[in-house]
Amino acid sequence: MSELTTVARPYAKAAFDFALEQGAIEKWHEMITFAAAVASDESMATFLSSAETLEKKVEVFINVCGDQLDEKGQNFVRLMAENGRLKALPAVEDLYAELRAEHEKEITVEVTSAVELTQQQQDQLAQTLEKRFSRKVKLNCSVDAAIVSGLYIKAGDTVIDGTVRGKLDRLAHALQS
């Protein structure tokens, strides 16, 4: 995956810079997301690896995308196809989403709790995290009874382990040292 990320980075950056310049960040995100879904499809991946000519690959890919791609989006797909990079479209979509979140000062936070959080708890947690990260926070909440109690919060490279399971694990490690 890291190879695809390396290949995808300049395409994502170029697409984002162009979208920013055109004031069409949301539209480009939708186009890239759709194209990435098409490229991820098993039958499309099989076709792309077996098609005889580049023109045929591009023609079929763009026809499948249909009205989801405007002229500039079609040119973007053509460029990626000419360079043999269509399989990197899902990685381009991920990197584009990161660039967009950075530009919009937004961060997605993964929150795991032992029980489902109420809407009020989620709102309060989001407000607290917005102050801490100085960004708009989008919460992705999940439940894992194994953490016993508390919250496990992951935002980018930052991890906040306030779970009873985490505290017990740290205590056990300290006692063994």
Partnered with residue 40 across adjacent β-strands are none
How far apart (Å, rounded) are the C-alpha atoms in residues 109 and 143? 14
Give per-residue pLDDT as tens, 51-67. 678 888 888 888 888 88
86, 90, 95, 101: CA torsion to nearest 10: 130
Mean pLDDT of 60-87: 88
Residue 83 has pLDDT above 90, yes or no: no
Range of the domain at 10: 2-101
Shared domain check, 54 and 37: yes
Cα-based angle 15, 90, 105 (whole degrees, multiple of 5)? 55
CATH code, 33? 1.10.520.20
Shared domain check, 96 and 13: yes
Select from 52, 73, 101 the last residue of a domain: 101
Q: Which two tokens stand for residue 74?
A: 């079609």
Shared domain check, 148 and 82: no
Backbone angles phi, psi at 85, to 5 degrees: -115, 15
Number of domains in the chain: 2
Shared domain check, 6 and 25: yes
pLDDT at 51: 66
Closest CA to 45 of 31, 26, 60, 32: 60
How far apart (Å, rounded) are the C-alpha atoms in residues 171 and 24? 51
Give per-residue pLDDT as tens, 103-144. 888 888 999 998 999 999 999 999 999 998 888 888 999 999
Shared domain check, 110 and 96: no
